[in-house]
Amino acid sequence: MSLWSSAAESVSVHVVDRADPLTSVLDHPMVRSGDWWTAVIDAGAVGAGDLYGFRVVGPPAPGSSARFDPAKFLLDPDATQVWFPPAHDRDGARRRGADTQGRSPMGVLRRLDPLPRMPPGPRHASTDLIIYELHVRGCTQHAPHVPEQLRGTFAGLRHHVNHIAALGVTAVELLPIHQGDPAEGSYWGYMPLAWNALHGGYVAGDDPEREFCEMVQAFHDAGIEVLLDVVYNHTTEEDHLGPTYHLRGIDDAAYYVLNGDGAYNDDAGCGNVIRAAHHAAASLIMGSLRRYADLGIDGFRFDLGSLLGRDIDGNPQERSALIEEITTFAAMRGLRLITEPWDLTAYQLGDGFPGHTWAQWNGEFRDDVRSFVRAEQGFAAPVSQRVIGSPDLFGAEPHRSINFVTAHDGFTLYDLVSYESKHNEANGHDNADGTGDNRSWNCGWEGDDIHADSAGEVHALRSRQMRNLLSLLLLSRGVPMLLAGDEFAQTQGGNNNAYNQDNETAWLDWRRAEQFGDLTDFVRTLIALRRLGGDGPVSLFGVDGPPDLSFVSHSIAWAWGDLYVMANAWWEPLTFEVQCAGDWSVALTTGPAEVAFVDGCVAVDGRTTVVLRRA
């Protein structure tokens, strides 16, 4: 067994029997070699003990950044499985000097050889890539087609693969599946405890790795890549008031970015920031990436990825050794890399991020398309950049733009057209959490408590606006990402930050799949049409000539392969002249009225998108 700590004075490893977690079956001192502490333990000496942890003693340093506490029973940062004792106490782990053995998470000893590396999954061309972002638990917790005992688990998601494949998407992006602390209260999974351990709450049986790999294989068999959202920029230990579970008590200053006064940097907004430029932290991150790649993962989306590129003092930099190491590793293994290129203090969308080959979540696409569709002035010009692949951000590499209008954090598609303001009271923060910049429009009525006299008109307009947003998302160059549930108008009741809502608020409501089945069919049609765009460039047009990109314009048209798209965000009808030769026919409209293509022109209703296809 081994543990890295440059500042520790002594380290001991403890083996525990889960029948009596308060007592160590074995307490063994570890030997130092450089900054590594090691111990060799005879399996026969521990009997039925299959749990372990460390106690680390370091120099007392009042007022300094050292936070050693030998009373803490510390989790192995490399643990591949975690056990929580019945008396698990997150608050107890906050108290300095309080003994946490039997009250804090423990690693599970591996007694079996690891599974062999999974073979590579499918690798789609970037022009064929369509991502579907989902939460393992929330996706199937109420799914009637999944056996009840498997809902909300990896095994349950395996039963759900065919439903996802039927949409036509080619990749799923799983929200974080790192082991979290069940006492912390996070639902999304962005407060990781153990990077290498699969979250126990998502496991139906007693073999997490095998269950996970069987799920991945089911997606691969359906031709779907599996991408994983990973959180290496912070941990669940929070700030100086948070629990001491591992890194804080092992070598605080090596693993976390500390300010000059010893306080934690909080540019992640979660209490701490990992010092990713330090070799010890970088080694943990690379080890975790290798593990998930071995388990069949086809690519990674890095939460607050800008933080991983910072220097040893936590400052943004143009080049990063860790980013370069990840890039090389991914190239060798054929993995996709996607970053969220911002944090609380840095915005690196485009060339500002050190990984110049990585794809990026394009927040400009989200904001510009939302504003255009709700008919804000001044957004025809920005949207013209988005539909052609955001060359203002990514040059001639549209595949680096991950386009989205909704994601796990923010309004769902339905809520985007049903709520003018966020409604996050259930989160417990007096509605102060969550962004206020939603660029939403409720179509004349807040929420679903609509007066009977207005209900028909409001619902029809919302249906049209959802289709407009989906059309711009799926018929623009770049890689589209669809939020799970948007295909059947999932609602969170106006909550745009459901990070702690492990309940019906955030779980997909499959009753809506029947109610909004026509919307699901519309998404399938859009995905099929998208493939007619091919990998060629996009040409922009206006109503009857060059595109009108003026401040008062609310329309844009574009030709892409065998598609011709006309988007009228204005509330009055416009007649578009089709400016590309070809045998065109109407393929789709977001409006309720039939559309005719007569004498080379199409009358497009207000707040309507019409798509033509060429024979």
- Examine the residue annotation and report whether 27 is marked as an active-site residue of this protein: no
Q: For residue 600, what are its two tokens? A: 């080379």
Give the rounded distance of the alpha carbon of 462 from its chain centre: 26
Structure tokens at 113: 């050889």
Q: At what angle do helices 452-474 and 363-373 cross, to 10 degrees?
A: 140
Q: For residues 3 and 54, is the Cβ–Cβ distance under 8 A?
A: yes
* Distance of alpha carbon 551 from alpha carbon 381, whole angstroms: 8
Separation of first and last alpha carbons in the chain: 66
H or E element that contains 483: strand 479-483
303 is annotated as an active-site residue? yes
Beta bridge partners of 360: 339, 401
3-state per-residue secondary structure call for 171-239: EEEECCCEEECCCCCCCCCCCEEEEEEECHHHCCCCCHHHHHHHHHHHHHHCCCEEEEEECCCCCCCCC
State the residue for tokens 């525990």.
16
Give the bridge partners for 198, in sequence order: 178
Round to whole Å and give the CA distance between 513 and 519: 9
Look at residue 55 and give its three-state secondary structure. strand
Of the candidates 340, 343, 487, 605, the residue annotated as catalytic is 340
**Pick the catalytic residue: 50, 173, 303, 502?**
303
Whether 365 contacts 386, CB under 8 Å: yes
- State the Cα–Cα distance between residues 332 and 4, nearest whole angstrom: 27
The CB density around residue 534, as the number of other CB atoms within 10 Å, is: 12
| Beta-ladder partners of 57 | 10
List beta partners, residue 573. Answer: none
Distance separating alpha carbons of residues 103 and 397, to the nearest angstrom: 51
Dihedral of the CA atoms 332, 195, 501, 105 (nearest 10)?
Answer: 160
Q: Which residue shows structure tokens 């049609």?
A: 525
Query: How many residues are there in the chain?
Result: 615
Residues 6+ away with beta carbon under 8 Å from 267: 273, 307, 314, 343, 344, 345, 346
Which residues does the annotation mark as catalytic?
Answer: 303, 340
